[in-house]
Amino acid sequence: MALYDPDLGYYNTESGKIGRDGDFYTSSHLHPLFGAMIGRQITEMWDVMGRPDNFSIVEMGGGAGYVCKDLLGSLRETDFYSALQYVIIERSPAMRDKQQKLLSEFSGKVKWSNALNECCSTTGCILSNELLDAFPVHLVRMEDTLKEVYIDFDAGDNRLIERTGDLSGNELADYFSEFSIGIGKGHTTEVNLAIRDWLHEINETLLRGFILTIDYGYPSWDYYSEDRDRGTLMCYRKHQLSENPYENIGEQDITAHVNFSAVKKWGEELGIKTAGFCGQGVFMVSLGIEDDLKRIAEGSKDYVFEIARIKKLILPQGLGESHKVLVQYKGVEPPKLRGFSMRNQLRVL
């Protein structure tokens, strides 16, 4: 409700959320090269698939629209562009309005839909950037046994509080068994079961092609390590971090990191194979972003500013290591993609 209520949810209100004047920023706000690098990788996917005449990029949760704008802008003069149709899945009217204004120059190339299941069967690439971290999660805590954390209301103090109780479903206990997770007493963490439903939805829509997922997260063994015993649930407001989701309700972003081991395993159970996994920085260096850096250094009047922002995309102290890239595929031959040519860390999942 805090994020998705039609009238009061954080993602459905008019106020600015993303960027310098908002609550947080994403990679697409740093530099147009982020979208261009994604376009470069998807072009190779199109090539691997035999250059079909109709190829759809379906972006789920398009944010402010910058990924789409920069991706299409980088491909405008290529052979791929004529085969390409871009679909943005966006259920927030406020965000859709902003996207349509930003993308007016691509009005014939981009269309919108409220949900993935409203799209026709797709050949192409399902793309998301910082989507899965905003899915609702179950909060659990180890007491004498594993308990779920519920929200209650303290009428005396007029505030929301937490209380623990029995697990809401067997699937939570099954999840800990499935990924061989053991946590100690007092350890609080999250379980994102919505990712499994999301993959089922994609599997019903994607006939042939790829799923390109960019988000912050960890392999299962790292996510549930004893060093992370307070979990990863975080709130963002005016670029300030908070661990309290019960304040500023509807006025702050609420996120939890992604268990990429679950994305891989649940995909493979549906017959969706995995092509590669690595940090965002290595992925972009593998795609040749250093050549673009040289071009900018030689030709841009603001090259110091531009390069500083690009470095935030690729260096470990920026988003280069915190953000990961996972590519899965369906119905094509096992691909060797350029984005994983330097480092493919599938084995850690």
Q: What confidence tens digit (pLDDT) does each residue in 115-170 have?
A: 998 887 899 999 999 999 999 999 999 999 999 999 999 999 999 999 999 999 99
Q: pLDDT of 232-288, one tens digit each?
A: 999 999 889 999 999 999 999 999 999 999 999 999 999 999 999 999 999 999 999
Residue 271 lies in a domain: yes
Structural domain contains residue 158 = no
**CATH number reported for the structural domain that contains residue 89 in this entry:** 3.40.50.12710
Asked whether residue 305 is assigned to any structural domain, the reply reads: yes
Map the chain to HEC letters: CCCCCCCCCHHHCCCCCECCCCCECCHHHCCCHHHHHHHHHHHHHHHHCCCCCCEEEEEECCCCCHHHHHHHHHHCCCHHHHHEEEEEECCCHHHHHHHHHHCHHHCCCEEEECCHHHCCCEEEEEEEECCHHHCCCEEEEECCCEEEEEEEEECCCCEEEEEEECCCCHHHHHHHHHCCCCCCCCCEEEECCHHHHHHHHHHHHEEEEEEEEEEEEECHHHHCCHHHCCCCCEEEECCEEECCCCCCCCCCEEECCEEHHHHHHHHHHCCCEEEEEEEHHHHHHHCCHHHHHHHHHHHCCCHHHHHHHHHHHHCCCCCCCCEEEEEEEECCCCCCCHHHCCCCCHHHC
pLDDT digits (tens, 9 = 90+) for 24-46: 667 888 899 999 999 999 999 99
In a domain, 98, yes or no: yes
In a domain, 185, yes or no: no
**Domain span at residue 298?**
14-135+194-224+250-348
- Is 105 part of any domain? yes
> Looking at the 3D structure of the chain, how many domains does it have?
1
pTM for this structure? Answer: 0.95
The answer to whether residue 233 sits within a structural domain is no
Q: At residue 90, does pLDDT exceed 90?
A: yes
For 132-145, write each residue's pLDDT tens digit: 999 999 999 999 99
- Is residue 172, in this structure, part of any structural domain at all? no
